[in-house]
Every structure is written in structure tokens, then in C-alpha cells.
């Protein structure tokens, strides 16, 4: 008897795209964070990563990408479990809203610079 199959091939492709999007959003978050912190306009909210972003930018990006990639891999391997699928969507939503925050901040900064 084979195991219970969860998700159609199309659903698995969508989920794969969402995981890949999480990785891209994480990279964008790392870049925006470096820009804001290096410009003195913000500070890293994650206390564990704060020293890295301030003192070792490349290591900050490597660690950030590595941790999120590892977490995504674990969730992908568990994708037949509902909790893993929910966690993938939660990660996507979290990084999506973080990107919106970065874009809003960028917009305010540009408006401030243009206004003089």
C-alpha cells in the first residue's frame, strides 16, 4: 500500500513557487536592511542579527539567507503535512509584509528627499 498523496501536481508547483518567493523576499529584506542600517536610518530588529548587520555585512547576508533557506528546506521536505504548508504560507506572508514595510519606508524617504 502506498502512502497517502497530499496535493495535486499543480498545487505542489504552486507551493514550490511560494517557497522560492520566500527566498527572494528574504534576500530583498537583507538588502533593504543593510541599506537602512548602513545609512543610519534604522537598526536591525532581530537582536541576534544586530551585531552581524552592524559589523559584518556579508556574514549577515550569508547567515540570514542560510537560516531561511534551511528552514524552507525543512518545510519543503515536510510539505505533505498541513502544518508545514501553513508554515510556508506564514513565512510568505511575513516576508511579504516586511517588503511592503521596506517599500513604504523607501517611498517616505524619496518624498522627503524630493521635497527638500
The structure's pTM equals 0.88
HEC readout, the chain: CCCCCCCCHHHHHHHHHHHHHHHHHHHHHHHHHHHHHHCCCCCCCCHHHHHHHHHCHHHHHHHHHHHHHHHHHHHHHCCCCHHHHHHHHHHHHHHHHHHHHHHHHHHHHHHHHHHC
Look at residue 24 in the predicted model and tell me its pLDDT: 98
Looking at the predicted structure, is the pLDDT value of residue 1 above 80?
Answer: no
pLDDT for 6 equals 66
Averaged pLDDT for residues 20-28: 98
Q: Which sequence spans correspond to the domains of the chain?
A: 9-115
pLDDT > 90? residue 86: yes
Region 57-66: mean pLDDT is: 96
Mean pLDDT for the stretch of residues 68-96: 97
Amino acid at each position: 500500500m502506498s502512502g497517502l498523496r497530499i496535493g495535486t501536481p499543480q498545487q505542489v508547483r504552486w507551493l514550490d513557487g511560494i517557497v522560492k518567493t520566500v527566498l527572494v523576499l528574504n534576500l530583498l529584506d537583507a538588502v533593504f536592511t543593510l541599506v537602512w542600517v548602513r545609512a543610519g536610518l534604522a537598526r536591525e530588529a532581530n537582536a541576534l542579527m544586530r551585531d552581524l548587520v552592524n559589523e559584518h555585512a556579508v556574514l549577515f547576508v550569508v547567515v540570514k539567507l542560510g537560516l531561511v533557506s534551511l528552514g524552507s528546506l525543512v518545510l519543503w521536505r515536510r510539505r505533505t503535512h498541513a502544518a508545514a504548508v501553513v508554515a510556508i504560507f506564514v513565512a510568505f506572508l511575513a516576508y511579504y509584509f516586511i517588503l511592503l514595510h521596506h517599500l513604504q519606508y523607501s517611498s517616505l524617504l524619496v518624498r522627503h528627499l524630493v521635497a527638500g
